[in-house]
Chains A and B, each alone.
Chain A
Amino acid sequence: MAFLIKLFYTFAKIGLFTFGGGYAMLPMLQRELVDNQGWATEDELMDYYAIGQCTPGIIAVNTATFVGYKERGFWGALFATLGLVFPSLVIITAIAAFISNFAELQVVKDAFAGIRAVVCVLILNSVIKLWKQGVKDKAGIAIFAAVFCLALFTDVSKVIIVLLAGVAGYVTASLRKGAAK
């Protein structure tokens, strides 16, 4: 039980400091899951993110489910997920009930503009860390460049991108094996 509460609490902390989409959660995930708790490796985070892009449901919830499930099965997944959404439930309900013009408040706009600039830097740091870990050879650099351009400049579905990258990984790995033989 104590461990389930820790899962809940850790993911509540992650939810509380995630501003933006699933990618904005990454710096918090790296710090809490990889550095502090050792519940996942950088490699696993990359895997979760790739899978989260092409499975139903919100990426952040997918990640919480994967980590929770790995640690303590179904109940672990449930507590991690409920922890992740707990801050949202409290904060949004309070805003919906009391501050109908929340998004128009000057102080909120100012704070959020500052937060967004910081989030960009934190994501950049996460990408640098993941790059060192996940992009190891020429094939990796080629896949990175192709996916980056597709994701940034085209509307190609992320599902297609992930599938193509999986095929590319399989093919380049078999070629490498063939060359080694």
Chain B
Amino acid sequence: MIYLRLFFAFFKIGLFSVGGGLATIPFLQELSARTGWFTVAELTNMLAVAESTPGPIGINTATYVGYTTAGLIGGVIATLGILAPALIVGAVIATMMSRFRESEKVKMVFSGLRPASVAMIAAAGAGVAALVFLRTDAYRETGSLLSLLDWKAVVLALAVFALTRVKKLSKVHPALFIVIGAAVGIVFHFAG
């Protein structure tokens, strides 16, 4: 029964990939080699789509792999499979958190976790920013510092940053800026 196998394959991936969607990639490569449900080339294409569409990358990939393997229902089953462990673990932790939240010791531990959490988000953002704004291949080719930056992206980012810092615009929904980014990207051919 392909649906059951899909569910358990993705349940396992959800259970063992700790720390975000990109952590699922090695598991998916292994799944491809073991079952032959999809090829590694297909997987590469699916990851590219998962990254350039809305939604968490891990979920997008599960839906895509499920659909490729067993059609519409396959996509739904694989998605449910990958989110089931997070749902179960999340419910357990949420219960524990509501019970231990007021404990003095837990508060002390969280006083270290919060700065760490901000730092991990900042590091993830810095990693993405390096990919978006720096063009290291162009710099290596020309040796000119001017070619190191992707100027279109830099100008857009500075403009959006200035707009989001204006007090009156602080109520503007972040989604609107994402839509603006897509429009500007299309009009000014950001991908080159």
Contacts and interface: CB of A to CB of B under 8 A. Distances in A.
B49 A95 contact: yes
Contacts of B57: 20-21
A97 B67 contact: yes
A103 B51 CA distance: 9
A92 interface: yes
A1 interface: no
A33 interface: no
Contact of A89 (B19, B63, B107): B63
B164 to A, nearest CB: 6
Contacts of B160: 117-118, 121-122
B6 interface: no
Interface stretch (B9-17, B28-36, B139-147): B9-17
A92 B49 contact: yes
Interface in A110-141: 110-127, 130-131, 133-135, 139-141
B143 to A, nearest CB: 24
Contacts of B4: none
Contact of B86 (A61, A70, A110, A116): A61
Interface string B29-60: 00000000000000001001111111111111
Interface residues of B, number: 95
A5 interface: no
Contacts of B131: 116
A136 to B, nearest CB: 8
A61 to B, nearest CB: 4
Contacts of B22: 21
B181 A115 contact: yes
Interface of A: 13, 15-28, 31, 43, 46-47, 49-62, 64-66, 69-70, 74, 77-78, 81, 84-85, 87-89, 91-93, 95-97, 100, 102-103, 106-127, 130-131, 133-135, 139-141, 143-148, 151-152, 157-159, 161-162, 165-170, 172-174
Question: Which 8 A/B pairs are nearest by Cβ-Cβ distance?
Answer: A169-B112, A114-B185, A57-B86, A65-B90, A118-B181, A88-B55, A165-B116, A113-B190
Given A16-B54, A66-B90, A117-B156, 5 more contacts: A55-B93, A113-B191, A135-B118, A147-B115, A147-B116
